[in-house]
Amino acid sequence: MKKKTIKAGIAGAGFAAAFHCQAMKRVYCADVVLEGLYSTGATRLAAFAEKEGVRAYDSLDALLDRVDVLHICTPSHTHEAMAVAALKRDVFAIVEKPLTGFFGDGSETYRGDTYPKQRALAAAQASIDRIVAAEEKSKGRVLYAENWVYAPSIQKEREILEKTAAQILWMHGEESHSGSHSPSYGYWKYAGGGSMISKGCHPLTAALYLKQVEGRVRNRKPIRPATVSAHTHALTRSDAFKDEGLIRADYYDIEDFSTMHVVFEDGTVADIMASDIVLGGVHNWLEVNTTNHRTVCNINPNTAMQTFNPVEGNFKDIEVVEKIETKLGWASTSPDEDWFTGYPQEIEAFYGTVAHGLPIESNLSLAADCIRTIYSAYVSSDEEGKRVAIS
Ligand SMILES: NC(=O)c1ccc[n+]([C@@H]2O[C@H](COP(=O)([O-])OP(=O)(O)OC[C@H]3O[C@@H](n4cnc5c(N)ncnc54)[C@H](O)[C@@H]3O)[C@@H](O)[C@H]2O)c1
């Protein structure tokens, strides 16, 4: 049978755009044709477009006129406007994490760390509402690019939950590393916060997703987060910080350490940590403790492959694992980092929705719960860890 042809565009020409582009080439369920790219940063855009042999557009509208799907791989403060523009044209919007947020009051003096978080929460909720309203009127859908939902270990746990009808009592998980590569990261006005939103969104969304799965299996109704208490810290901006040049330390107004305690509607709990102060490569894991089994999802690192390298230079052209500081000695080298992280599975699933109408596992309501939980957590951290209801 001839596969359906789907025309796609990418907004952005950086890190996320690159892995989306690679994952698109691995889609089996449809013929995905990359129509073109749109991004600020003309030099990088031109180089990317030339490498892929596609057109570099100088307007998002012009690209949207030519595509069925837009991959939104730009900084978080741009996500809402781009998603709404796509949906207005009935174009599917694959939106990178986090869905949206609060990106400042527009003033020159804005600092996210001192701004009242109740107002940030209200603004983030208003942004969610605008995206939901746009999706309701559109033939397109938001496909929320939370790769953890599609990571093989999380999907295996979904299968176990579905087949054992377990109740999850406690999850704990983390995403941490030694600092983002992105120049816009570090400013609340571009990223919508610090480690809690940029990294914590991954294990948090996986935890929210698994409680949704449990609810669907046991009561045909997702189990949603009810309250959150949280603490955040700016460790690399503290006077006592001893900078040894290994941890990125140039953040302007964001936290680099966070911890959230989420209580679900059924009284069960999840503890989520996220930070920019951890050496040794990306540390991505989620442990699930249930009434009939216990699972540890080691997304990164894991022991699928281990290498020993006695001479640093020998591995200079070899990707060992994301954000590792040295390639010397023993390493948990990933044989296919994208696969363990869920990128190709996520993009395959999204094109399954676009081409064949398959249901969306990582949908707008999951993304919205993630944003509501995180901004409620910022309110809590402003109030010394007080328990805050998630609306
Ligand atoms: N799922 C993941 O594992 C993962 C990993 C990294 C980044 N991300 C997400 O992807 C998004 C992009 O992050 P990145 O790491 O690729 O950043 P990046 O800085 O590497 O690239 C961002 C790109 O967007 C372009 N851009 C910036 N503002 C723009 C605008 N207003 N209009 C058009 N183009 C614009 C920049 O020129 C650049 O090409 C962020 O939302 C981030 O949270 C997700």
Tokens of 53: 């042999």
**Predicted TM-score (pTM) of this structure:** 0.97
Q: Rounded CA gap, 165 and 378, in Å?
A: 33
Phi-psi region of 104 (alpha: psi -120 to 50; beta: other; left: phi over 0): left
Atom number in ligand 1 closest to CA 45: 39
Delineate the domains of the chain, giving CATH numbers in brackets: 5-145 (3.40.50.720), 157-345+361-389 (3.30.360.10)
- Residue 305, class by beta-carbon neighbours within 10 Å (0-12 exposed, 13-18 middle, 19+ buried)? middle
Q: Confirm or reject: Cβ of 40 under 6 Å from ligand 1.
A: yes
Average pLDDT, the chain: 97
Q: How far is the CA of 94 from the centre of ligand 1 (A)?
A: 13
Mutate which of 15, 185, 338 for ligand 1 pocket (most atoms within 8 A of beta carbon): 15
Q: From 39, 80, 175, give the residue whose CB has the most ligand 1 atoms within 8 Å, as the site to mutate.
A: 39
**CA 179 to ligand 1 centroid distance, Å:** 15
Q: What residue's CA is closest to ligand 1, atom 30?
A: 40
Mark the ranges of the chain whose per-residue pLDDT is less than 50.
none
State the closest ligand 1 atom to the C-alpha of 76, by its place in the atom list counted from 1. Answer: 41
- pLDDT tens per residue, range 76-92: 999 999 999 999 999 99
Does 75 contact ligand 1 (Cβ within 6 A)? yes
Residue 290 near residue 158 (C-beta atoms within 8 A): no
Query: Is 180 close to ligand 1, i.e. is its CB under 6 Å away?
Result: no
d(CA 127, CA 81): 9
Q: How far is the CA of 181 from the centre of ligand 1 (A)?
A: 11
Binding site membership of 182 for ligand 1 (Cβ less than 6 Å): yes
Exposed, middle or buried: residue 226 (CB in 10 Å: 0-12, 13-18, 19+)? middle
Percent share of the chain, pLDDT over 70: 100
- For the Cβ of 22 lying below 6 angstroms from any atom of ligand 1, the answer is no
Ligand 1 binding pocket includes 11 (Cβ within 6 Å): yes
Question: In terms of Cα–Cα distance, which of 178, 187, 179 is closest to 254?
Answer: 187
Helical segments of the chain, H only:
15-24, 42-52, 60-64, 79-88, 117-136, 147-150, 152-164, 188-191, 195-198, 201-219, 337-341, 343-356, 364-382
Check pocket membership of 81 for ligand 1, CB cut-off 6 A. Answer: no
Q: What is the predicted pLDDT for the residue at 1?
A: 67
Our answer on whether the CB atom of 342 is closer than 6 Å to any ligand 1 atom is: no
Q: Ligand 1 centroid vs 21 CA: distance in angstroms? A: 13
In this predicted structure, what is the pLDDT of residue 59?
Answer: 96
What is the reported pLDDT for 328? 96
Q: How far is CA 64 from CA 34, 72, 81, 84, 346, in A?
A: 12, 12, 13, 11, 22
